[in-house]
């Protein structure tokens, strides 16, 4: 937030708390190391009498001086680049921290925990996203994976999460939430197309943005534990009870972005989440993680092992993280995220309604 003196005009904004705006660097600043190097070489060559001598000791001394000056300049440039990279990394990390804000530890009788895995230890910017909100229609959750990484991925993550946080409260049907996300993503792609490629539209074949997409899954947990899902190219969640079973084996819709949504959205009813049970949502980077010999991460075996004993959302997420890192023997090859939702054993679940559900009045359901 920026503050200006009330009633003042033409006053430059100043950051709250008195922080100064970062100084702007002159374009010639980047040429300073080269200019210093050239000045040092010319000054030594023509101003130092010792450099005018042509014998071997003089040549060795001249080479040593130039080497030392060059090494000092290279070290200074390297340190300057590292400082700039750290600043960029801090800004990117802060931006993603705002977007992927910490999940609440408890939400309407559920406990939540999440873990993110970066393919690069120094990277803080990725395309994985998740969020959970309590609405008048039930607890609504989104988990997704944006194609690509870096600043473009952050922009898409911001678009999807911003739209979800608003639509989750406004839309009575889960399919309506998905359509809101689809429209928001389409607007974002058109905006980026105008900025990055003004000569063509994102729908044209071969256009870079024509291949942009987001896989995501929307989940709604109603007060009676009924689970509703809409899946767009994302891995199905697993239900932890006596073992670990995927919520569905049905084919998902295509990812958001390349194709329009169908007229009738298959909002699937996937049973109930009862007290003591848990849901594990994840991105495809978890299942695709490999060990040095090329074997995929045994996610189902890991989940069955967790379900065989007492667990909480936090311990389950930590156990998955530890097992994944042990399997891949380091960071996985792709970014990954895990979200665990546990229904507390003491949670009171009302009887399941046998009448017409509000969601079925607006969206078709595939049993």
SS3 278: strand
- pLDDT at 23 (0 to 100): 46
Question: For the segment 342-355, what is each residue's pLDDT rounded down to a tens digit?
Answer: 998 877 767 765 44
- pLDDT at 219 (0 to 100): 98
Tokens matching residue 152: 């473009």
Chain centre distance of CA 172: 27
Angle at 280 (CA atoms; ends 165, 137), nearest 5 degrees = 35
- pLDDT at 198 (0 to 100): 65
φ and ψ of 134, to 5 deg: -100, 120
Tokens matching residue 126: 């990725």
- pLDDT at 10 (0 to 100): 43
Chain centre distance of CA 15: 28
- pLDDT at 295 (0 to 100): 93
- pLDDT at 111 (0 to 100): 96
Question: For the segment 170-198, what is each residue's pLDDT rounded down to a tens digit?
Answer: 999 999 999 999 999 999 888 877 777 66
271, 277 Cβ separation under 8 angstroms: no
Residue 63: pLDDT band with limits 50, 70, 90: confident
- pLDDT at 6 (0 to 100): 45
Q: Residue 118 above 80 pLDDT?
A: no
Tokens matching residue 271: 């049973």
What's the count of helices (H) and strands (E) in the chain, helices before strands?
8, 14
- pLDDT at 365 (0 to 100): 46
Residue 2: pLDDT band with limits 50, 70, 90: very low
E strands in the chain: 2-3, 14-15, 106-107, 110-117, 128-135, 138-146, 214-221, 226-232, 238-240, 244-246, 267-272, 278-282, 336-343, 365-366
Q: What is the pTM of this model?
A: 0.72
Going by C-alpha positions, the residue among 105, 26, 109, 40 that lies closest to residue 70 is 40
CA–CA dist 190, 185 (Å, integer): 9
Q: Residue 235 above 70 pLDDT?
A: yes
Which range is most confident: 109-118, 187-196, 201-210, 328-337?
109-118
Strand partners, 146: 214
Strand partners, 245: 239
Residue 29: pLDDT band with limits 50, 70, 90: low
163, 192 Cβ separation under 8 angstroms: no
Q: Residue 41 above 70 pLDDT?
A: no
Q: Which positions ≥6 away from 59 have C-beta within 8 Å? A: none
Question: For the segment 266-323, what is each residue's pLDDT rounded down to a tens digit?
Answer: 999 999 999 999 999 999 999 999 999 999 999 999 999 999 999 999 999 999 999 9
How confident is the model over 211-225, as a mean pLDDT?
A: 92
Going by C-alpha positions, the residue among 125, 130, 123 that lies closest to residue 145 is 130
122, 308 Cβ separation under 8 angstroms: no
133, 139 Cβ separation under 8 angstroms: yes
Domain with CATH 3.60.40.10 in the chain: 100-366
What is the CATH class of 100-366?
alpha beta
| Secondary structure letter of residue 275 according to DSSP | T
SS3 103: coil
Tokens matching residue 57: 């000791």
Residue 149: pLDDT band with limits 50, 70, 90: low
How confident is the model over 255-265, as a mean pLDDT?
A: 91
Going by C-alpha positions, the residue among 235, 229, 263, 256 that lies closest to residue 365 is 229
- pLDDT at 78 (0 to 100): 83
Residue 127: pLDDT band with limits 50, 70, 90: confident
Going by C-alpha positions, the residue among 25, 35, 40 that lies closest to residue 83 is 25
Q: Residue 163 above 80 pLDDT?
A: yes
Angle at 128 (CA atoms; ends 126, 130), nearest 5 degrees = 135
Question: For the segment 71-104, what is each residue's pLDDT rounded down to a tens digit?
Answer: 877 888 888 888 887 887 777 666 666 667 788 9
Question: For the segment 43-57, what is each residue's pLDDT rounded down to a tens digit?
Answer: 666 666 666 667 677
**Percent of the chain having pLDDT more than 70?**
70
- pLDDT at 150 (0 to 100): 60
Q: Residue 14 above 50 pLDDT?
A: no
């Amino acid at each position: 937030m920026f503050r200006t003196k009330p009633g003042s005009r033409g006053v430059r904004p100043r950051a709250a708390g008195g922080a100064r705006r970062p100084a702007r660097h002159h374009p010639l600043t980047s040429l300073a190391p080269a200019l210093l190097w050239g000045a040092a070489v010319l000054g030594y060559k023509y101003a130092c009498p010792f450099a005018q001598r042509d014998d071997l000791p003089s040549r060795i001394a001249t080479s040593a001086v130039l080497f030392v000056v060059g090494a000092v300049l290279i070290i200074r440039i390297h340190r300057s680049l590292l400082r700039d990279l750290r600043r960029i990394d801090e800004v990117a990390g802060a931006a993603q921290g705002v977007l992927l804000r910490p999940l609440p530890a408890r939400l309407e009788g559920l406990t939540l925990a999440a873990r993110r895995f970066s393919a690069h230890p120094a990277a803080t910017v990725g395309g994985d996203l998740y969020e959970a909100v309590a609405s008048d229609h039930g607890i609504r959750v989104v988990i997704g994976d944006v194609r690509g990484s870096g600043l473009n991925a952050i922009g898409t993550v911001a678009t999807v999460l911003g739209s979800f946080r608003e639509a989750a409260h406004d839309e009575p049907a889960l399919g309506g939430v998905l359509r809101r996300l689809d429209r928001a993503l389409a607007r974002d792609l058109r905006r980026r197309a105008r900025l990055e490629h003004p000569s063509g539209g994102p729908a044209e074949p071969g256009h870079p943005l024509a291949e942009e997409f987001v896989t995501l899954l929307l989940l709604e947990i109603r007060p009676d534990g009924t689970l509703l899902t809409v899946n767009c190219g994302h891995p199905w969640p697993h239900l932890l009870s006596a073992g670990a079973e995927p919520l569905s084996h049905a084919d998902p819709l295509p990812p958001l972005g390349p194709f329009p949504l169908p007229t009738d959205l298959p909002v699937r009813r996937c049973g109930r989440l009862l007290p003591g049970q848990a849901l594990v949502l994840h991105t495809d980077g978890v299942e695709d993680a490999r060990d040095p010999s090329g074997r995929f991460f045994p996610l189902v075996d890991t989940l069955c092992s967790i379900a065989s004993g007492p667990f909480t959302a936090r311990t389950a997420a930590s156990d998955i993280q530890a097992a994944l890192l042990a399997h891949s023997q380091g960071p996985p090859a792709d970014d990954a995220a895990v979200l665990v939702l546990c229904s507390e054993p003491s949670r009171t679940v009302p009887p399941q309604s046998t009448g017409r559900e509000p969601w079925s009045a607006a969206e078709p359901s595939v049993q």
